[in-house]
């Protein structure tokens, strides 16, 4: 059952989406060499609370932290840790979901740490573009599979692969609602898009030719590429409008001015919010 949101719900989704985007903007300057993913987690948790929201991932089906941090060959659901310190040349996806006034905003970006080689840079940029191709394919009256079709058409020519085991999703009062949004073309997504639907578009692209992934047996969460290749992802929460799509998690106006902690100076130093 796919929910059509009414105008009051849409307004709340806009606010949640904006806060989510704002949080990514807030942590961006801290995504650099020497910073641990736990530090980014704690910054995010503080920011979210400060704005009267909750971190939706925390305790979601037992997830132990407030955000997901997925480095290099980690596809998604990486668990922030003091042990995972960003290195020059890494790519890291930060996926955050806030719950504000009963509604969710879900967004992620892949950041490049320091000097990233140009093949990887191209790969990350193309992944973002793939997400936008998918979003641009959203039109009321069309089928949802146009999203996957557009992504596949664009990304196919580079020899990359589109992860199939994880999809976009409807979102609202629940973190994950119907429908599943596939990022490759499949008839399973023969669903009419209607004004007022809200879902995420969040393609996970593997740099190698295999879309296969595996889940860590030790933590039960961390998903990595089966072949060890890099993986990148971008995510927006979108609303189907009368004309196309409105991105609810777009970087935009500040809800409240945000005090910035000074970014850590010493690469490699123990990072923890003071
Ligand atoms: N934010 C992820 C998504 O885009 C879901 C993370 S679930 C968690 O759907 F439990 F790992 F947080
Ligand atoms: Co997400
Ligand atoms: Co999502």
> What mean pLDDT comes out for the span 215-220?
98
Q: How far apart are CA 144 and CA 138, in angstroms?
A: 7
Atom of ligand 1 nearest to the CA of 56: 12
Structure tokens at 226: 């089966």
Q: How far apart are CA 140 and CA 100, in angstroms?
A: 27
> What mean pLDDT comes out for the span 230-240?
98
SS3 51: coil
SS3 250: coil
**Distance in Å, CA 266 to ligand 1 centroid:** 31
Cut 0.85: pTM above it: yes
Q: 7-247: which CATH topology?
A: Creatine Amidinohydrolase (3.90.230)
Q: Rg of the chain's alpha carbons, rounded to an integer?
A: 18
The answer to whether 144 and 181 are in contact (CB under 8 A) is yes
Vertex 86 angle, CA 25 and 247, to 5°: 25
Residue 105 belongs to what H/E stretch? strand 103-112
Average pLDDT, the chain: 94
Vertex 94 angle, CA 91 and 97, to 5°: 165
Q: Which residues contact 64 (CB under 8 A, 6 or more apart)?
A: 58, 79
**Distance in Å, CA 107 to ligand 2 centroid:** 5
> What mean pLDDT comes out for the span 251-262?
53
Q: Tens of pLDDT along 87-127? A: 999 999 999 999 999 999 999 999 999 999 999 999 999 99
Q: Tens of pLDDT along 193-212? A: 999 999 999 999 999 999 99
Q: Tens of pLDDT along 34-60? A: 999 999 999 999 999 999 999 999 999
Determine how many CB atoms are found less than 10 A away from the CB of residue 25. 13
**Distance in Å, CA 259 to ligand 1 centroid:** 27
SS3 191: coil
Task: Looking at the CA of 61, name the nearest ligand.
Answer: 1
Question: Which strands make up the sheet holding 204-206, listed edge to edge?
Answer: 161-162, 204-206, 231-233
On the CB side of 267, CA atoms within 13 Å amount to: 9
DSSP annotation of 165 reads S
Q: Which residues contact 211 (CB under 8 A, 6 or more apart)?
A: 161, 162, 163, 164, 184
Residue 95 belongs to what H/E stretch? strand 91-100
Atom of ligand 1 nearest to the CA of 67: 12
| E-assigned strand segments in 118-262 | 161-162, 168-170, 177-181, 198-201, 204-206, 213-215, 223-225, 231-233, 236-240, 245-247
| Probe target for ligand 1 pocket from 66, 77, 163, 236, with the most ligand atoms within 8 Å of CB | 77
Q: Which residues contact 156 (CB under 8 A, 6 or more apart)?
A: none
| Domain coordinates in residue numbering, the chain | 7-247
pLDDT score, position 73: 99
Q: How far apart are CA 135 and CA 150, in angstroms?
A: 9
């Amino acid at each position: 059952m796919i929910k059509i949101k009414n105008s009051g719900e849409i307004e709340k989704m806009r606010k949640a989406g904006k806060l989510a985007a704002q949080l990514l903007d807030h942590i961006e300057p801290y995504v650099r060499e020497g910073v641990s993913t736990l530090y980014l987690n704690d910054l995010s948790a503080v920011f979210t609370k400060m704005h009267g929201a909750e971190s939706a991932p925390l305790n979601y089906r037992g997830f132990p932290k407030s955000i997901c941090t997925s480095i290099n060959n980690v596809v998604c659901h990486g668990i922030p840790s003091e042990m995972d310190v960003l290195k020059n040349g890494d790519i890291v996806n930060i996926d955050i979901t806030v719950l504000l006034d009963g509604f969710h905003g879900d967004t992620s970006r892949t950041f490049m740490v320091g000097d990233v080689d140009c093949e990887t840079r191209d790969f990350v940029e193309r992944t973002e573009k793939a997400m936008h191709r998918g979003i641009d394919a959203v039109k009321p009256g069309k089928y949802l599979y146009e999203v996957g079709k557009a992504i596949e058409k664009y990304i196919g020519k580079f020899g990359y692969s589109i992860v199939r085991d994880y999809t976009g999703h409807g979102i609202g009062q629940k973190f994950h609602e119907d429908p599943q949004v596939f990022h490759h073309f499949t008839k399973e997504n023969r669903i009419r898009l209607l004004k007022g639907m809200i879902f995420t578009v969040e393609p996970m692209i593997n740099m190698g030719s295999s879309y296969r992934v595996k889940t860590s047996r030790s933590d039960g969460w961390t998903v990595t590429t089966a072949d060890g290749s890099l993986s990148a992802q971008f995510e927006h929460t979108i609303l189907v409008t009368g004309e196309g799509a409105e991105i609810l998690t777009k970087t935009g106006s500040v809800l409240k001015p945000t005090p910035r902690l000074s970014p850590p100076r010493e690469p490699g130093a123990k990072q923890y919010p003071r």
